[in-house]
Amino acid sequence: MGLLTPTNEELGRPDAAWRRRLHTVIFESETPAGRRFDKWIVAAILVSVAIVVVDSVPTFHQRHGKVLNAAEWFFTIVFTLEYLARLASVRYQLRYMFSFFGIVDLLSVLPTYLAIFFPETHALIDVRILRLLRIFRIFKLADYVAEYQMLGEALAASRRKILVFLSAVFMVVLIMGTLLYVVEGPANGFVDIPTSVYWAITTVTTVGFGDITPKTDVGRFIASVSMLIGWGTLAVPTGIFTAEMTARRHLRPPLLQLPCPSCGATGHGAEAKYCQMCGSALAAPAGENAQAAGPPVR
């Protein structure tokens, strides 16, 4: 996993008994205590994020400012205690502090304290929204691992194809943006190449805000070509990823079945008892095999 996201083993279990118990609760999500702890933390994160969101609405801030402020402090203290508990429950504190989640954990409490001591840093207070990222830690542990992993693997396997695709999109966007900068010019809103590239991205991705639009005939022609490219091109990453997902589904089931012990034939149904090819009995009752293997992965 590397040092950015160290495993529980890399973080290490501490020696002291109370710190060991803390480790069990915080890091071992298979245990009942760990599971309960995870659920409470997710709830706390969601509520505290909801407070940040609601607090940003001026009318709410004026009316319920005090309650929101108190709740904010409550959660800041809870997360601070959690941070200290995490520090106490690992053997190698520095590894935790400089890991991805260690930094996120710190960033999700720091702004509230800073806003007290340095009122001018108040603009940073919304950094607290990064608390959301902490939920991803729970994802690693939840029932959704298999789904999460399959999506991840399919994306990882398509990585190189997606990179080739993205670099081609990047070039199209840069060239189209520059073309429109030359053709339309600052008078029509294409004030510089970065802005034109921003426009090209809104066009190729079919977002089309319409805050900047081509006015000349040539510009509109180039824009039309960009749109058709962007619209049709979407088929490419979809095709890459879908072929990957389809193949993954086809790959797995056969691996769940043993070949025929007398003729070696494969491809039997999930509950086959006799070989399709030579009629001899299959070594292990395939039915149990299939059972043991569970339902074919999705």
Indicate the burial class of 44 (C-beta count within 10 angstroms; 0-12, 13-18, 19 or more).
middle
- Tokens for 142, please give them: 């939840």
Q: How far is the CB of 224 from a copy of itself (least distance, A)?
A: 5
Give the range of 71-79, 88-96, 110-118, 144-152 binding a copy of itself by CB under 8 A.
144-152
63 binds a copy of itself (CB under 8 A): no
Is residue 185 packed enough to be buried (19+ CB in 10 Å), middle (13-18) or exposed (0-12)? middle
Q: How far is the CB of 198 from a copy of itself (least distance, A)?
A: 4
Q: What is the separation of C-alpha 38 from the centre of its chain, rounded to a whole number of angstroms?
A: 18
Query: Dihedral sign, CA of 66, 71, 74, 80?
Result: negative
Q: Is 151 in the site for a copy of itself (CB under 8 A)?
A: yes
Q: State the binding string over 20-59 for a copy of itself (x if CB under 8 A, else -).
A: -----------------------------x--xx--xxx-
Q: Residue 65, interface with a copy of itself (CB under 8 A)?
A: no
* 80 Cβ contact partners less than 8 Å away, ≥ 6 residues apart: 109
Nearer to a copy of itself, 11 or 75 (CB): 75
Residue 101 binds a copy of itself, judged by CB under 8 A: no
Total number of residues that touch a copy of itself (CB under 8 A): 118
Using CB under 8 A, which of 74, 100, 101, 241 touches a copy of itself?
241
Q: Are 88 and 7 in contact (CB under 8 A)?
A: no
- C-beta of 23 vs 134, nearer to a copy of itself: 134
Could you say whether residue 68 binds a copy of itself (CB under 8 A)? no
- Contact flag: residue 222 with a copy of itself (CB under 8 A): no
Burial class (CB in 10 A: 0-12, 13-18, 19+), 121: middle
DSSP one-letter code for 127: G
Structure tokens at 172: 């199209």
Residue whose C-alpha is closest to residue 150's, from 158, 35, 114: 158
Instruction: Identify residues 163-202 at the interface with a copy of itself (CB under 8 A).
Output: 163-167, 169, 171, 174-175, 178, 181-182, 191-195, 197-198, 201-202
